[in-house]
Structure 1
Amino acid sequence: MTIEPPVPGEPRRPFGPRNPGDAWVVAPTGERYWGRYGAAGLLAIDPDRGVLLQHRVSWSHFGDTWALPGGARHEDESACDGALREAGEEAGVPARSIRPRLLSVFDLGYWSYTTLVGDVVVPFEPEITDPESRELAWVPADDVADRPLHPAFEASWSHLREVLSVRPAIVVDAANVFGSVPDGWWRDRAGAAQRLISRVGGLAATGIDAAALDLPEDVWFPEWTIVVEGRAKAIADDDAVGVVRAEGSGDDRIVAEASRLVDRHREVTVVTSDRELAGRVTDAGATVRGARWLLDLLPTPGR
């Protein structure tokens, strides 16, 4: 990326035509914020190495501090896509290596900054691909606060640190959910299961409002497991959600999946309206939501 000569206190900008989002937003009280359409950054978490931080060059805004790779969003670009793009441009982060977990939004009304918390699922080595970086480093979460942090990141880190241990997971009783809608599912159970999985995949991509999960922050991307049984097992796998085919009792497999995830310290929600099953998974440490809860969250078919 080519950049303009530095202007004290301002980010360097590309020569020639640049994205319309690369501009200041001026607050009613006079403060300036970078990104006409808001800004976004990536908080990548590697289970073995910690959090990926960027040591900013001295001429950058709040230079010689540590922060997250990030920057101005493009017009009509989602915060998730913007954070991954900026992390790729500034730190060589491969988007396929990150599984989104959480979006935390700082919204002033006229400007917003969104932090994408993402889990590293394919290990990679970051590389300096942008002149705004002096250094990139994996830093253990307990040591982040010991570094001189960018003031905005320092202000957000205190509450982000508290939610890093939260890992929501949802296990879906597929037969109970698609069976609650009288749309002829009994004539094609595999087709009904496939349609449900496709709709859940759409929800997995957009995330779930934190209030629907009784969790803090803004938008979460749970780990999804859909348990199918009987003739519904004749379905394709899906990249967005995990599909588990019950060889025996579907209820037994759902309890087993819930227990496995609880043992992995996940915040587990089981979606079923079956009272007996609800009691069993509650005893295993999971929360239960009825089929209607999920159906109300799912995107409308065809959209």
Structure 2
Amino acid sequence: MKNFIDISDISLKDLKKILNVSTKRKIKRKNLNTTEPDKDLPLKGKLLVQIFEKSSLRTRLSFYISMKQLGGDVLTLRPDEIHLGKRNETLFDTAKTISTYSDIFLLRSKDHKKILDLKKHLQIPIINGLSPDSHPVQVISDIFTIEEVTKKKISNLNITWIGDSNNVLNSLIQASNKFLFDLNIACPKEYKPSNLILKLNRKSKIKIFHNPDDAIKNADVVYIDKFVSINDKVNKKNKLKKFKRFILNKDLISKAKKNTFILHCLPRGSEINNELFNSSQSKVWQQAENRMHVQKSVLLYCFDKLR
């Protein structure tokens, strides 16, 4: 039994195996319809229970389809219809109940500590479907997309992140610490990564820029995300004003390499213009589809069935 909570928890060997198995299984599904199961049915009879305390589209759909394709089943519960440590039931009792009735648990939480606390009490694997601290299932699938598009290992590439220091960036920094790829971060001074996340990932090859023109110069991949997250409790007008010069448009992307491509984990806002988002340089929909292929390998990893 293995958990998937943070990229930093997982060995480089296992991360690479997740990517390799994803490639093999994606090829094998070429002529199958969406809900047709994989021939080997590795998770037949297994039940995934998932709970989302925050809104979710891609993570919810991709894990649902992933589990179905692997031969398992899925039950999605609403946080307002169960206890999950609230009212008169402890987190321990909730965890024991979930462990009794299911085989694996996914939680998208407003509190990273809740995921860590549940891990202590669950007798089944837990997957972090996003927390304020990290988004590991997004980033491992993004690495898959990067290597699929470039046909190169990410350790030989230069990735530029444009945007806020959020949960996705935290996981990307952890990934840089594992795979040792160059990571340029472009953001206003007051929105740079925390000293703690940088200290915990000292091996990572990170450079921080406050001028996006400099950050993008040698980029093989430009990864942009919303400047203001859905649950960001800030003055949104002021924040967007500070990020104005970081908007990804044709002028900015022209300063990168000619074959540079763009990633965005969605949903999008005003941080990228429509023309560029819908251009051939954008690999956003390939990125979104690959969530499903890679998360199948994440599930297999948790069950110790990566083959």
If the length of structure 1 is used for normalisation, what is the TM-score?
0.26
Structure ranking higher in helix proportion: 2
Larger Rg: 1
If the length of structure 2 is used for normalisation, what is the TM-score?
0.25
Q: Higher relative contact order by CA 8 Å / sep ≥ 6: 1 or 2?
A: 2
